[in-house]
Chains A and B, each alone.
Chain A
Amino acid sequence: MSTLFGDATRRLRANPAAMCATIVTLSIVALTLIGPWFNPNSSETLDWSHVASQPALQSAHWFGTDRLGRDLFARTLEGARVSLAVGLVASAVSLLVGIGYGAVAGYVGGRTDHVMMRGIEILSGLPLVFFIIFLTVIFGRSVYLLFLSIGAVGWLTMARIVRGQTLSIRQREFIEAAVASGAGTARIIAKHVIPNVIGPVVVYATLTVPQIIMFESFLSFLGLGIQEPHASLGALIAEGAGEMEAAPWMLLVPGGLLALLLLALNMLGDGLRDALDVKER
C-alpha cells in the first residue's frame, strides 16, 4: 500500500544528506537528554579548583570550565536543551495557531479573510527587536515573555502558507462533493482541508525550528533572552565571546554545537521538502 507518508519516508531514506542530518539531530537531542547522566559535573556546581580551565579528557571537565568554574559540557548541554525546547515549543505553537488561522481565513474567504489577513500584516509590520526591548522594559525579563514574543511572530508565515494552500484546495471538486454531502464548514476544514495542507506545513515547520533557535540565540546574545543562572546556546556564546582571547573554548563549544544543530535541522528540512513535495524535484 502506498500512501503519501510511506512514499515520503522511502524517499527520505534514499537521501544520504537528509539521513545524516536526521542522525546528527537525533544524536544532539539524545545527548541533551541523557548526557547529564554520564557527566559527573552538574551545570550549577562551582569548581573553584578549575576556573576557566582548558578542555582536557583526562580531567573531570571534558570541555573545560567557564569563569566561575562551572562545567562547560554540562552548561552547553543545558543550553542546547533550552534552545531546542524553545525552538520546538514555539514551532508547535506557530503550527497550531498558523494552521487554524490560515485554514479558516482561506476556506471561509471573503470579508473574514480580508480582516484576518490585515491582522497578520499589522503583526508582521512590528519591528520585533524594538518590540521585545519595549516589552522587557515594561514587564521585566522572563522566559515566558520570550515565548510570547517569538510566538507572536512565528505563526504569521505559517498562516500565510496554509491560507495559500487552502485557497487552492477549496477549488477542488472533493470539497464541493463534501459540501454536497452535507458536511459543515468546521468538519470540512478539519477533515478535508487541513490534512491536505500537511505536506508543505511539515516542511515549513522543520525549517521554523532552526529559525526560532537562531532568533532565541540572537535575543539571548543581546541579553534579552534566557537569563543566568539558566543557559541557552545564545547566552553561552555571548559569555564566551567576552573571553574569546583568553579562553576560546568557551565560545567554540557552544558555538560549534549551535552551528552543527542548525546545519542538521536545515538539511533535514530540505530533505523533507524534497521527499514530500514531488513538484520541486
Chain B
Amino acid sequence: MPPVLRIVDLTVSFSHPDRTIHAVRQVSLAVAARESVGIVGESGSGKTQVFMAAMGLLAPNARADGHVLFGDDELLGLDAKRMNRIRGSKLSMVFQDPMTSLTPHLKIGTQLAEVLVCHAGKSWHEARIAARRMLERVGVPEPERRLNQYPHELSGGLRQRVMIGISLLCDPMLVIADEPTTALDVTVQAQVIDLLGAMRREVGMAMVLISHDLGVVADLCDRILVMYAGRIVESAGAVELFRQAQHPYTAELLKCIPGLSGPLLERLPTLPGQPPQPGQTIEGCAFAPRCARAAARCRTERPLLEGLGGADAGGHANGGHARRVACHFPLSL
C-alpha cells in the first residue's frame, strides 16, 4: 500500500535580511495508511515546520525545497485553489491551543458546518446535522446546546474535542496533530489522548502527532521519529525506542522523563547544554557538543540516517519500520 504522505529531502529555510536560517534540513519521511507516527524533539528542532510546509502554512519569508507528496499530489507549490480542496478535507490539522484556534465570534455549530459546506458541498441544514453527530462522536455532552454556543463558553478540553471533531469531519486520510495536549490540564490531556486513539481506531486515518512529550507519543504512536536541530536523528517503532534508544540524544530524552516508581529524585534530570542556534552552520553531528560519547569524527563528519549495521536497511522512503539512526556510535554497538 503506498504511503499517504511522503516527504523527500525537505529543507525549510527562513530568509532574514542578514542571514538565512535553516529550520529543517533534508528531512525525508513517509507515513503509511492508518499508521500513527510521532514526531519528538525539543523546541526549535523543526518538527512543526516540517508539517507547516506540508500544509502550506509557512511564514511569508520561509522557503521550502524538496518534495511533499500527499497521495499523488505534490503539495509544495500547489496552487491555492487545489491546496484548499485538500487541506481541511483529506489532510487536516489539530492545533496546539484550542483557546485561540476557534474563531471567537462564530458559534461552534457554524464553525463545524462551514467545513462541510465548503468541502462536501452540503447545505447548511445537512451540515448542521452532521456537525451535531460529530460532536457526539468526539464526546461533547449536550451537542445540540453546544452548537449554539460561542467558543469562550466552552472549557479547554471541550474546545480541543471540537477541534478534533472539525479535523475529522471530511473523513481525512491523514490528521496532523501539533502538540494537541500542550495547552491543556494534565487530566484533560489524558482524555484528549484517549479520544485521539479512539477516533483513529474508528475512522482509520493515518496520524502524525507532533509533541515534545514522549509519554503522549508513546501512548498513541506505532512509530516515533526523533528530531534534533532540523534533522531526523532516530526512527524506530515505539516499543523498540523505549526499550533501547540508539541515538544518545534519544537516550538522554528518555532519561528526562520523571518516573512514578524508583527513588525520589532531588532534581529532575536535565540535558546539559543548548541546542545549536538555528542560524549556525553545523559541521559534523549537531548533537556532538552535548554528547558524552562524541569523538573527533563526530565533529567533522555528519552521520547519515541509516539502518543499523551501516547500510540503509529500511526502504528510505517507503515508510518501512526499519530502525534507523543518525549516529556514528549508536548505543547498541
Contacts and interface: CB of A to CB of B under 8 A. Distances in A.
B60 interface: yes
A246 interface: no
B114 A177 contact: no
Nearest to A188: B103
A236 to B, nearest CB: 43
A182 B119 contact: yes
A42 interface: no
A267 B311 CA distance: 78
Interface in B67-88: 80-81, 83-88
Interface in A38-56: none
Interface of B: 55-57, 60, 80-81, 83-89, 92-93, 95, 97, 100-106, 114-115, 118-119, 149-150, 153, 163, 166
Nearest to A183: B118
A196 B80 contact: no
A26 B163 CA distance: 45
Contacts of A110: 60
Interface in A84-126: 109-110
A172 interface: yes
A167 B200 CA distance: 37
Contacts, number: 74
A57 interface: no
Contact of B57 (A1, A179, A196): A179
A252 to B, nearest CB: 47
A4 interface: yes
Contacts of B150: 1, 3
Contacts of A2: 153
A192 interface: yes
Given A182-B118, A182-B119, A191-B114, A173 B149 contact: no
A187 B103 CA distance: 13
Nearest to B105: A195
B101 A181 contact: no
Interface in A159-214: 172-174, 176-185, 187, 191-192, 195-196
Nearest to B86: A182
Contacts of A181: 87-88, 92, 114-115, 118, 166
Contacts of B118: 181-183, 187
A182 B89 CA distance: 8
B87 A182 contact: yes
Contacts of B106: 191-192, 195
A179 B56 CA distance: 9
A185 B93 CA distance: 18
A180 B92 contact: yes
A182 B56 CA distance: 10
Interface in A1-31: 1-4
B88 A196 contact: no
B60 A109 contact: yes
Given A181-B115, A183-B114, A184-B80, A4 B105 contact: yes
